[in-house]
Amino acid sequence: MKIAVAQLNYHIGNFESNTTKIIDHIRQAKQQGADLVVFAELAVCGYPSRDFLEFSEFIDLCQESIQKIAKECVGIACIVGSPSVNPKIEGKNLFNSAYFLENGKVKAQVNKTLLPTYDVFDEYRYFEPNTEFKLIEFKGRRIALTVCEDLWNVDEDPLYVNVPMDELIKLNPDLMINIAASPFDYNHREDRIDVLQKNCKKYQLPLLYVNHVGAQTELIFDGGSLLLDNNGNVAHEFDYFIEEMKVLKLDAKGWKKKSEAIINPQSEIERIYHALLLGIRDYFQKSGFTKAILGMSGGIDSAVVLALAAEALGKDNVLPVLMPSQFSSYHSIDDSLEMVRTLECHHEIIPIKDVFSSLEYALKPQFKDLPFNLTEENMQARIRGVLLMAMSNKFGYILLNTSNKSETAVGYGTLYGDMCGGLSIIGDVYKIQVYELARYINRNGTIIPENIISKPPSAELRHDQKDSDSLPDYDLLDKILYQYIELRKSSKEIIRQGFDEAVVKRILKLVNTNEYKRHQTPPILRVSPKAFGVGRRMPIVGKYLS
């Protein structure tokens, strides 16, 4: 049997585009002699559709799309994901379903059993879990069809009390197919392969796994669809971060192996780089925008964001704006100008000294002779935010936020100033990783000037200011933040690792007391196992560790 695996980039709620793309690939697969073509979880509506699923019209459009797709399935069968209506009054109104389409009709429907409600997932909010198990019979094959999480309950500390494949294996299948929407993080490829291999070894069955590719606001899907034999050996691995469809043959001995090289970024930083490019590109394309703007400070963060945006959108679609003050160093301005000349992108220079002086004068009756402090520093950041948002409004740019994860974690940023923007590019990238990204960006030649990479980081909001005046060195800070945020270690556990007790308690207090700031930041492109945003939900007024 020849099976086409379609690893595609969908657009949430864009039924016309999604349906047309699915039908086009059914036709291509048929021309290539495929018997069956497999698409991803909730491909019809896109993933995650979130509260769109609460609108009856949205579900009606899903069903209309399924009927259109079914009509194309003549001489070829199709598996595709879509929400479906639960016919029973009891329970949630919807299922997360995999449809099997053949001979122009819906021949079978398999519903998802395990509904994740951790990290970025919230499926039990919308869907009823499956309780009935059956196989799909096609071309002499008995297919155990499952949806994403249904294969993930194989850990030593299982998250769920039941295992769908334990039920399906009783029906004597000879092939597993899993349709998925598995978001990217820089470790997820290895986790994903490990889970799928465990299933193959446990049930002694070959497996076809198809994943989404593309970005949906903050979530990035990396593709990496897989074919594994019944011993868990990878017979074929699809490319990462790109769309593709391939027709592969399943014979009595399993998958006929393919030997083509794949696009599989190996290092953590290389994966983050490609994920961020995809995240930027899709956010703009799917939102209908083409041009970006950002503040260019001469620091490492804005330089990395500029380089990424220029690569993702094209240099002519990115506008860096230099906004020097009386506290800006000459080398920061010169370094910024050197970089924009290298990229050959247009830039603007808007000095803020006079604007700042006007605000100082306007507030003098209230501030009187009080000394310069954080208030005046924040005023400068907010002046820059006002100028950038004015340019955004006037010319239709999307403002790119340049805050990194280290700063965002401890609140080292100004609300309505440098924390404003339409999309946060590196808000899930620690400062030390930002430096690694800069080196990677310069791998084939200097794009980011060496002085930007090597000089001590500074907000330049007062004379001779350095980040180290307010924060521990980033090498130390990032290690403690990683233990707390990604690994959810307690303060006692972190201290036992050898970190100074006072430093640990101070950092964790900063993280927790600045939750209110993070609730007001733009969407952050997710590249780590635990990002700020929908996957990390903390109370603002909680007392724990604050």
Known catalytic residue at 246: no
Reduced DSSP (H G I as helix, E B as strand, rest coil) percent helix, strand, coil of the chain, to 5 = 40, 20, 40
User: Looking only at Cα atoms, what is the longest distance across the chain?
Assistant: 87
Q: What element of type H or E holds 494?
A: helix 491-496
Structure tokens at 366: 């209230």
302 is in an annotated binding site: yes
CA 346/CA 319 separation, integer angstroms: 6
| Residue 80 CB coordination number (10 Å) | 28
Q: Is 423 helix (H, G, I), strand (E, B) or coil?
A: strand
Q: How far is CA 141 from CA 102, 173, 251, 325, in A?
A: 15, 8, 10, 70
Structure tokens at 509: 């207090």
335 is in an annotated binding site: no
Q: How far is CA 346 from CA 318, 343, 351, in A?
A: 8, 9, 17
| Residue 366 CB coordination number (10 Å) | 7
402 is in an annotated binding site: yes
Q: Report yes or no: 312 and 318 within 8 Å, Cβ to Cβ.
A: no
Structure tokens at 202: 């446990």
Closest CA to 94 of 141, 120, 62: 62
CA 107/CA 380 separation, integer angstroms: 63
Instruction: Give the total residue count for the chain.
Output: 546
58 exposed, middle or buried (CB, 10 Å; 0-12, 13-18, 19+)?
middle
Q: Is 240 helix (H, G, I), strand (E, B) or coil?
A: strand
118 is in an annotated binding site: yes
Q: What element of type H or E holds 111?
A: strand 105-111
Q: Is 462 helix (H, G, I), strand (E, B) or coil?
A: coil
10 is in an annotated binding site: no
Q: Report yes or no: 95 and 84 within 8 Å, Cβ to Cβ.
A: yes
- Active-site residue (options: 2, 30, 41, 377): 41
442 is in an annotated binding site: no
Calculate Rg over the CA atoms of the chain: 26
CA 538/CA 27 separation, integer angstroms: 47
298 is in an annotated binding site: yes
Torsion of Cα atoms, 257 then 261 then 266 then 269, to 10° = -140
Query: What type of residue is 197?
Result: Q
- Active-site residue (options: 45, 62, 73, 148): 148
Known catalytic residue at 112: yes
Query: What type of residue is 29?
Result: A
Q: Report yes or no: 200 and 230 within 8 Å, Cβ to Cβ.
A: yes
417 is in an annotated binding site: no
177 is in an annotated binding site: no
Estimate to the nearest angstrom the gap between the alpha carbon of 17 and the chain centroid. 21
- Active-site residue (options: 2, 30, 112, 431): 112
Q: Report yes or no: 546 and 509 within 8 Å, Cβ to Cβ.
A: yes
Structure tokens at 467: 């980040």
301 is in an annotated binding site: yes
Helices (H), 39-105: 56-72
Helices (H), 37-159: 56-72
How are beta strands 94-102 and 105-111 bridged, if at all? antiparallel
Known catalytic residue at 62: no
Binding positions for ATP are: 295-302, 402
Binding positions for deamido-NAD(+) are: 378, 407, 517
Binding positions are: 118, 182, 295-302, 378, 402, 407, 517
Catalytic annotation, residues = 41, 112, 148
